[in-house]
Structure 1
Amino acid sequence: MKQLTPEGQQIINNLAQRYGFSADAVFSLLQSVINGNGSMAQFNHPEFGGSGQWMRGGMIMLGDMFNNGLKNSVGGLCQELSNLIANQPGLIQTGSFQSQNQGTQQQSNYSNNQQQNSTGSTAAVSLFVPPPACSSGNWWPAGLQFPNSTGAQNNVRYAYFATIRRLAIEVNGQVTLYDTLDHQIGGFSQQQSVGGSITFTSQYGLVDVKSLPIISVDNVPVQTPIQSQPEPPCQPNSIDTTSVNQDADIFGAIEKLANLKEKGILTDAEYSTKKAELLARL
């Protein structure tokens, strides 16, 4: 989580005092508006009546749906926070998410002109402490420099690298890098709920991000386990069934010779000779 500058903390404190909320509640709402790319926010805080949604233009939904005074306060605060972050470097992402429940894309196109907000400070005031000079400021994994598109909504933001078939998605601070395979991604969407599933559209239609192979999580490579071939079950000592059958035939023939001898058909000499021949085959 980014650290507020002294000026940024003072702005949050002033807003909290004017709207009657705690500084912690205002700061959490600021994060939600940032995650909504400045045009919308989904939040969950007890001071705002639990879970709720706000969209630039006047749409406000709260868990305490009949508390119109709370709606006006939260809506006004969201609008001021949206104006405040409009010119903050690196907070507004290019690209867009699309809400499945709404069916319309929320674009975030803001003017770079400075805007005067009701706190008396200009939007050019830096809210957050800048990253170290050695840092690139990119939230996606190192080595991925030029995304074809980026976007953010709720607690999710993405960066799509079409040329190398990679997709980086950050959810609540955890960055997962996916292999996009042969998908030609045209847009992203998220269910209109905190933690809703993320999907994208490609030449194959609507696809769940979870179906893509994972390359790494927070820069730690994820290796797909190689399934080893199962060893054949241990077999008992093999028996030559052909040999067994031949032995049985020989013993059967000897029994027949014995019967012929008892009946007087074979003499003792003939029986002994044939028996010796059969036993020699064993």
Structure 2
Amino acid sequence: MQNLTQDGQQFVNNLCAKYNLSYDAVMHMLNAVNNGYGTQAQFNCQELGGPGQWMQGGMTMVGDMFNHNLKMIVDNLCSELANGLASLQVFAPLPKGTPGSNQWWPGDLGQPFSSGAQNNIRYAVFPNRLAVELNGQVTVYDTLNHNIGGVSQQQGNDTSLTFSSQYGTLAVSQLPIVSGTGLEPAPQRNFAEPAQNTQQNDTPRNYNARDNSSFSSVDDILQLIEKLAKLRDAGAISEDEYYAKKTELLNRI
């Protein structure tokens, strides 16, 4: 765990007292918000109802979905943590070459001629090497004879990267790994999405040309919209949250 600065320690202590939470609970939430770059957090904190997620300016979801007071506490706490991370030096700077630091790639690679970030991934391009950091884990790839001109992240929930070279567009996963484990994040499920059925169904399913196995069926989406409407009617989510999620789900059809 990254060490706190003196200001960061005082910041955490103040939040513990303000929200009547333990030090471990506030630190858990601080790391979750920090991992989400101050705009989102996925957490599992027993003092805050177990698993949940927070999005800045969006929905806040907790395990006890009808506990409106708990949702407000989580939203306010995460907002304060995000503001503190943006305005204070909360964490002590990490040594160069340490994952999570500003210079997070191995020191023997030198200085990159290109670097950037896509969502929760950072990358840096060196002569014959590409370094990628995901959730504090750094993987170094051999770029072989490719002259990398740009790196982009694929749309969707995965963390696949592609790059452009003189030979066209190729996936980073096709490059040999010099060190690290590669991009293999643990899957994360949106709490508003239906869980997938892991039991095998012996009845074959017929697909037409418009079917896509990566999307929920129309029936699943309609059922989910009905559940969201019940949550809205019960006051668990706002009207804006309901329509935003409804629009997102309808776009999948």
Letter in 2 for 1:145: Q
Q: Secondary structure at the match of 1:198?
A: coil
Question: How many correspondences in the alignment?
Answer: 173
Partner of 1:200: 161
Cα deviation, residue 4, structure 1: 0.8
Letter in 1 for 2:114: N
Which of 176, 188, 212 is 2:153 aligned to? 188
Query: Does the CA-based 8 Å contact 2:35-2:41 persist in structure 1?
Result: yes
Partner of 1:178: 141
Cα deviation, residue 127, structure 1: 1.8
Q: Secondary structure at the match of 2:112?
A: coil
Cα distance change of structure 1 residues 202 and 72 upon mapping to structure 2, 3 Å threshold: same
Query: Does the CA-based 8 Å contact 1:36-1:152 persist in structure 2?
Result: no
Determine the C-alpha separation between the residues in 1 that align with 2:38 and 2:155: 17
TM-score (norm 1): 0.51
Partner of 1:111: none
Cα deviation, residue 202, structure 1: 4.3
Aligned pairs for 1:139-178 within 5 A: 139-142=104-107, 143-146=109-112, 148-151=114-117, 153=119, 156-161=120-125, 164=127, 166-178=129-141
1:80 aligns with 2:80: yes
Query: Does the CA-based 8 Å contact 1:33-1:39 persist in structure 2?
Result: yes
Cα deviation per residue 1:129-158 (whole Å; 9 max; x = unaligned)? 3346999951111124236233265xx532
Cα deviation per residue 1:228-254 (whole Å; 9 max; x = unaligned)? xxxxxxxxxxxxxxxxxxxxxxxxxxx
- Structure number with higher relative contact order (C-alpha < 8 Å, ≥ 6 residues apart): 1
Percent identity, aligned pairs only? 45
Determine the C-alpha separation between the residues in 2 that align with 1:51 and 1:189: 27
Determine the C-alpha separation between the residues in 1 that align with 2:62 and 2:110: 39
Rg: which structure is higher? Answer: 1
TM-score (norm 2): 0.56
Cα deviation, residue 29, structure 1: 1.6
